[in-house]
Amino acid sequence: MSYLPSTVFVTGASAGFGAAIARRFAESGSRVVVTARRLDKLSALAEEFNGLVLPRELDVRDREAVVDLAANLPAEFADVDLLVNNAGLAKGLGPAQEANLDEWDQMVDTNCKGLIYATRALLPGMVERGRGHVINLGSIAATYPYPGGNVYGATKAFVHQFSLNLRSDLHGTGVRVTCIEPGMCGGTEFSTVRFDGDQARVDSLYAGADPLTAADIAESVHWSATLPPHMNINTIELMPVSQSSAALQIHRR
Ligand code: NDP
Ligand code: 8X3
């Protein structure tokens, strides 16, 4: 018996995890709505799948645009039974006292507000149909503090708690919620965005580290979404074998 979702809606599908997740489901036979700000990348992805993938430009920070898109999907893509809230970013790695407030706004608006807009727009249909699944991309940065993680980690702590709270609200509806919380993952645009295109810094971060890949994340999302409907994976925390926690720091006089 296949428990594959019939229609998947992915935010931030123009690169990285989102593109890999969209591909994983389309290859399995799901219809997939792929959204992000860069329509050209989404269209190129859709061309690989002959009508199974629907590209739509969407900035998740634009509340009206999120509502409008969710309400006006073509009939064959309208009954979304898996929402993957993946769009997100980190900006900078400096200390809070030197932070750029526009970058803090961008992280909060995308990682928290965009995620709740998409969830609010697509949940009623799932509840009405008595089935559905919301999978949110959190991060280990929600749990393990690190210097410069300030607002980014806090937005992911929001994603973690919102996911758990959603489960309580959805009690008895048949709708599932999962939070996927990866550690270091390479081969995506994440660090290029974080370090404003400083490729040398990106390269040195991942050098020799054997980080997770976008395909690893897509696999964990696909696994969570294709389990029998009585099973809810609440949280998955995953790291590359090369990554682990370090001790607390002590500043000495
Ligand atoms: P990428 O930078 O490769 O991809 C991010 C995606 O988000 C892009 O498709 C981008 O598309 C989209 N996006 C950014 N801002 C917006 C916006 N305002 N509206 C719509 N889409 C937007 O990053 P990753 O794939 O690595 O990361 C994906 C998610 O996973 C993020 O939430 C990230 O925080 C999280 N994560 C990443 C880890 C890593 O190490 N890489 C580890 C743990 C979690 P576009 O620019 O076209 O809009
Ligand atoms: C991305 C992982 O460790 O760079 O969420 O914060 S980390």
- Positions annotated as catalytic residues are 152
Domains and CATH numbers, the chain: 7-238 (3.40.50.720)
Tokens of residue 13, six digits = 């599908």
pLDDT at 1 over 80: no
pLDDT score of 16:
99
pLDDT score of 202:
98
pLDDT score of 101:
98
Any residues with CB less than 8 A from the CB of 63 and at least 6 apart, and which?
113, 117
Pick 75 or 2 by higher pLDDT.
75
pLDDT score of 2:
80
Mean pLDDT of 3-8: 98
Do residues 219 and 182 lie in contact, with contact meaning Cβ atoms separated by under 8 Å? no
Q: Is 139 in the pocket of ligand 2 (CB under 6 A)?
A: yes
Mean pLDDT of 91-100: 98
Our mutation pick for probing the ligand 1 site, out of 137, 143, 195, counting the most ligand atoms within 8 A of Cβ, is 137
Q: Which residues line ligand 1 (CB under 6 A)?
A: 11-18, 36-38, 58-61, 86-89, 110, 114, 137, 139, 182, 184-185, 188-190, 193
Q: Which atom, in ligand 1's list, is nearest to the CA of 188?
A: 3
**102 to each of 109, 151, 219, 252, how far by Cα in Å?**
10, 12, 34, 34
- Distance, in Å, from the CA atom of 25 to the CA atom of 72, rounded to the nearest integer, reads 22
| AA identity, residue 245 | S
- Distance, in Å, from the CA atom of 147 to the CA atom of 101, rounded to the nearest integer, reads 17
Our mutation pick for probing the ligand 1 site, out of 9, 188, 192, counting the most ligand atoms within 8 A of Cβ, is 188
Tokens of residue 40, six digits = 């050209």
Query: Which residue has its alpha carbon closest to ligand 1 atom 18?
Result: 59
Question: What percent of the chain is predicted at pLDDT more than 70?
Answer: 100
pLDDT score of 208:
98
pLDDT score of 247:
87
pLDDT at 248 over 90: yes
Q: Is 193 in the pocket of ligand 2 (CB under 6 A)?
A: no
**Over the stretch 47-70, which tens digit does the pLDDT of each residue have?**
999 999 999 999 999 999 999 999
**Over the stretch 159-171, which tens digit does the pLDDT of each residue have?**
999 999 999 999 9
Q: Distance between the two ends of the chain, CA-based, in angstroms?
A: 64
- Distance of CA 181 from the midpoint of ligand 2 (Å): 9
Mean pLDDT of 86-98: 98
Q: Is 140 in the pocket of ligand 2 (CB under 6 A)?
A: yes
Mean pLDDT of 140-155: 98
